[in-house]
């Protein structure tokens, strides 16, 4: 079968454009699609980042003087939507998943290559549509949560375009999820057992299960919301007898797992990067697998902790507090496993491992504030304040985005055959880490003192801290420059990396860099111990 499929693919492949142009084509090659996801996501990251900078400029002074208030609402809505649906979700899932999973399972492509290409090509149009909505009567203003009745009463065209765009992105995400599940479970090389797979496969399996189970619920909810807006039904409109809390339940049934959809793949990527650069086996492989699956199960039953102030009954508060606190257990296991992996290892200090360590530090901090937020009395105090903003960004920026950068430094030689410049990389890490913490750590204080989020104006007593935060944001914006310079210089003139610059044992490094079209020249290697460092003698070049 594989041979048949391959010959078909090869025929298709020969019709596809070669070289740089293939990245603009409907390519079926999982490696091309992975890079398409990554570059497309990064471009949207630049857009979302510019919007974030605009927000921080506005918040540098207590008055609404940089932009009108309704534009501020649009900017924060677009910032949230773009960063979540067009940058982190497609990149940690689509980009790295597509590039790495077929290597890890010993396949030549994903299970459904055409579906894969469709999933990617849904993203650019929906992203552009979302951005373009700004020029049509203004973009959506109700935040990335689109809570009714706010989303019903704000200008309609922007909100409808927002819904359409998120529906398309959700579809893309579901197609990707189906593909990953089928590839990991059904396309494994003969002889390769599930418990021998690299950890990222497990992370993607868990993530894809969450995607397949929860994204459709969001789709259904948004369809109902669009009925409320266009056809004036009353599902979520209290004036017409509807129920806004039902929207919140359905929305968070997706959007809490969405946090795990953004961070579980990042866990997987870190678990790949750490053992290689510490020259030690991944600590506690089995517990890692079980904690991922534990997070998947628990992640589906904690959604109402976003709704402690929505009139939730006491039993519900109790249940969701306990369930949320429980999630700290598998997450904590993973954290200690990473530390134990590094413990006593031969750690080489490079940009990849620095970003991974940055992730661990930031994530622990975000995790602790997360457990704090799970407690009802505390949550009620800081609900809808900057404390939540800080917590969330510690998870998704300090967590996922740090891992994305770490992964780019780690796998750049795989994709291009060139090494990135380490000095620029370490400089990039330093200002990202300082800028990030300078930007978001003070926001905990702002939230504890009651500064509400999503408002363009604030009490002048908060000005100094907000300015500190804005300086941090400026540093984060600047940090993109050395990164981009690094990428452009290294693609052209980078130091030759060789096939396996890190002396890694995971399957993707056992082929040439960049890999051939069908991944392997001969048969796929059977890697039973992807983390066998210290056990196997590796020839040091």
Q: Which of 11, 135, 190, 541 is close enough to bind another protein by CB under 8 A?
A: 190
Q: How far is the CB of 97 from another protein (least distance, A)?
A: 15
Of 178-186, 197-205, 284-292, 341-349, which part binds another protein (CB under 8 A)?
178-186
Binding of another protein at residue 522 (CB under 8 A)? no
Cβ-contact 325, 356 below 8 angstroms? no
x/- letters, 108..147, toward another protein (CB under 8 A): ---xx--x--------------------------------
Report how far residue 458's alpha carbon sits from residue 61's, in angstroms, rounded to the nearest whole number: 8
Report how far residue 73's alpha carbon sits from residue 78's, in angstroms, rounded to the nearest whole number: 9
Q: Which helix (H) or strand (E) is 10 found in, with range? A: helix 2-15
Separation of CA 455 from chain center? 26
Report how far residue 393's alpha carbon sits from residue 84's, in angstroms, rounded to the nearest whole number: 11
Using CB under 8 A, which residues numbered 245 to 304 contact another protein?
A: 246, 249-250, 253
Q: Which of 54, 160, 181, 446 is close enough to bind another protein by CB under 8 A?
A: 181
Contacts of 407 (CB under 8 A, 6+ apart): 96, 269, 273, 352
Of 243-251, 356-364, 375-383, 491-499, which part binds another protein (CB under 8 A)?
243-251
Binding of another protein at residue 179 (CB under 8 A)? yes
Closer residue to another protein (CB): 212 or 297: 212
Q: Which of 150, 164, 212, 372 is close enough to bind another protein by CB under 8 A?
A: 212
Please confirm whether the linkage preceding 149 is cis (ω < 30° from 0). yes
Cβ-contact 328, 279 below 8 angstroms? no
x/- letters, 158..177, toward another protein (CB under 8 A): ----------------x--x
Q: In this structure, how many other beta carbons lie within 10 angstroms of the beta carbon of residue 286?
A: 8
Across-strand partners of 533? Answer: 536
Closer residue to another protein (CB): 172 or 341: 172
Radius of gyration, CA atoms only, the chain:
23
Binding of another protein at residue 234 (CB under 8 A)? yes
x/- letters, 61..100, toward another protein (CB under 8 A): ----------------------------------------
Q: Which of 19, 135, 193, 241 is close enough to bind another protein by CB under 8 A?
A: 241
Q: How far is the CB of 323 from another protein (least distance, A)?
A: 18
Number of residues that bind another protein (CB under 8 A): 42
Report how far residue 419's alpha carbon sits from residue 314's, in angstroms, rounded to the nearest whole number: 56
Closest CA to 100 of 173, 205, 225, 175: 205
Q: Which of 73, 221, 321, 506 is close enough to bind another protein by CB under 8 A?
A: 221
Q: How far is the CB of 4 from another protein (least distance, A)?
A: 8
Q: How far is the CB of 210 from another protein (least distance, A)?
A: 11
Binding of another protein at residue 150 (CB under 8 A)? no
Cβ-contact 41, 95 below 8 angstroms? yes
Report how far residue 176's alpha carbon sits from residue 119's, in angstroms, rounded to the nearest whole number: 6
Q: Which of 235, 260, 386, 458 is close enough to bind another protein by CB under 8 A?
A: 235
Closer residue to another protein (CB): 377 or 522: 522
Binding of another protein at residue 243 (CB under 8 A)? yes
Report how far residue 107's alpha carbon sits from residue 514's, in angstroms, rounded to the nearest whole number: 16
Report how far residue 248's alpha carbon sits from residue 151's, in angstroms, rounded to the nearest whole number: 12
Closer residue to another protein (CB): 153 or 375: 153
Q: How far is the CB of 220 from another protein (least distance, A)?
A: 4
Residue whose pair of structure tokens reads 């109402």 in the numeric block: 304
Phi-psi region of 143 (alpha: psi -120 to 50; beta: other; left: phi over 0): left
Closer residue to another protein (CB): 18 or 186: 186
Binding of another protein at residue 214 (CB under 8 A)? yes
Q: How far is the CB of 320 from another protein (least distance, A)?
A: 16
- For residue 385, CA distances in Å to 164, 189, 381, 444 come to 29, 50, 9, 9
Of 87-95, 212-220, 338-346, 523-531, which part binds another protein (CB under 8 A)?
212-220
Closer residue to another protein (CB): 108 or 428: 108
Cβ-contact 22, 16 below 8 angstroms? yes
Report how far residue 432's alpha carbon sits from residue 314's, in angstroms, rounded to the nearest whole number: 42
Contacts of 17 (CB under 8 A, 6+ apart): 24, 25
Q: How far is the CB of 414 from another protein (least distance, A)?
A: 26
Closest CA to 137 of 70, 190, 92: 70
Q: How far is the CB of 400 from another protein (least distance, A)?
A: 23
Binding of another protein at residue 9 (CB under 8 A)? no
Residue whose pair of structure tokens reads 């066998």 in the numeric block: 532
Binding of another protein at residue 227 (CB under 8 A)? yes
Across-strand partners of 536? Answer: 533
Report how far residue 511's alpha carbon sits from residue 496's, in angstroms, rounded to the nearest whole number: 16
Closer residue to another protein (CB): 4 or 537: 4
Closer residue to another protein (CB): 20 or 315: 315
Closer residue to another protein (CB): 141 or 221: 221
Across-strand partners of 452? Answer: 385
Q: Where along the sequence are the contacts to another protein (CB under 8 A)?
A: 1-2, 4, 111-112, 115, 174, 177-179, 181-182, 185-187, 190-191, 212-217, 219-221, 223-224, 227, 231-235, 240-243, 246, 249-250, 253
């Amino acid at each position: 079968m594989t041979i048949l499929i391959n010959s078909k693919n090869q025929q298709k492949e020969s019709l596809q454009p070669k070289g740089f142009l293939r990245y603009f084509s409907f390519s079926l090659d999982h490696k091309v699609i992975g890079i398409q996801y990554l570059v497309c996501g990064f471009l949207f990251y630049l857009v979302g980042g510019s919007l974030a900078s605009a927000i921080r400029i506005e918040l540098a002074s207590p008055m609404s003087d940089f932009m009108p208030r309704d534009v501020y609402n649009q900017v924060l809505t677009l910032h949230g939507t773009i960063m979540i649906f067009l940058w982190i979700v497609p990149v940690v899932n689509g980009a790295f998943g597509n590039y790495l999973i077929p290597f890890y399972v010993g396949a030549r492509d994903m299970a459904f290559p055409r579906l894969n290409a469709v999933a990617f090509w849904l993203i650019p149009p929906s992203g552009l549509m979302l951005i373009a909505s700004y020029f049509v009567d203004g973009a959506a203003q109700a935040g990335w949560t689109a809570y009714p009745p706010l989303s019903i009463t704000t200008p309609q065209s922007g909100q409808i375009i927002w819904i359409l765009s998120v529906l398309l992105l959700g579809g893309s995400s579901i197609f990707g999820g189906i593909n990953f599940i089928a590839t990991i479970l059904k396309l494994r090389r003969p002889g390769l057992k599930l418990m021998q797979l690299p950890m990222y496969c497990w992370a993607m399996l868990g993530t894809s299960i969450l995607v397949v189970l929860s994204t459709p619920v969001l789709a259904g909810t948004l369809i109902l919301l669009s009925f409320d807006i266009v056809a004036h039904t009353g599902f979520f409109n209290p004036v017409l007898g509807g129920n806004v809390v039902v929207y919140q339940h359905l929305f968070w049934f997706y959007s809490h797992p969405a946090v795990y959809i953004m961070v579980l793949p990042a866990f997987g990527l870190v678990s790949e990067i750490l053992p290689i650069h510490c020259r030690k086996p991944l600590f506690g492989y089995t517990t890692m697998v079980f904690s991922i699956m534990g997070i998947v199960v628990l992640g589906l039953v904690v959604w109402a902790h976003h709704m402690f102030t929505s009139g939730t009954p006491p039993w519900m508060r109790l249940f969701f507090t306990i369930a949320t606190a429980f999630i700290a257990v598998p997450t904590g296991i993973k954290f200690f496993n990473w530390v134990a992996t590094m413990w006593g290892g031969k750690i080489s200090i490079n940009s990849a491992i620095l970003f991974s360590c940055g992730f661990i530090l930031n994530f622990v901090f975000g995790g602790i504030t997360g457990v704090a937020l799970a407690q009802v009395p505390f949550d009620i105090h800081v609900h809808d304040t900057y404390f939540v903003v800080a917590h969330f960004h510690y998870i998704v920026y300090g967590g996922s985005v740090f891992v994305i950068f770490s992964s780019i430094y780690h796998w750049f030689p795989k994709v291009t055959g060139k090494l990135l410049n380490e000095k620029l990389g370490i400089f990039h890490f330093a200002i990202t880490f300082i800028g990030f913490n300078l930007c978001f750590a003070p926001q905990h204080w702002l939230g504890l003192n009651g500064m509400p989020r999503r408002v363009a104006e604030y009490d002048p007593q908060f000005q100094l801290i907000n300015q500190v935060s804005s300086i941090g944001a400026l540093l984060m914006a600047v940090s993109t420059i050395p990164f981009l310079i690094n990428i452009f210089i290294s693609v052209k003139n980078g130091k030759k990396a060789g096939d396996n610059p890190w002396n890694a044992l995971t399957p993707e490094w056992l082929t040439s860099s960049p890999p051939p079209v069908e991944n392997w020249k001969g048969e796929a290697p059977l890697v039973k111990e992807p983390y066998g460092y210290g056990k196997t003698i590796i020839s040091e070049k």
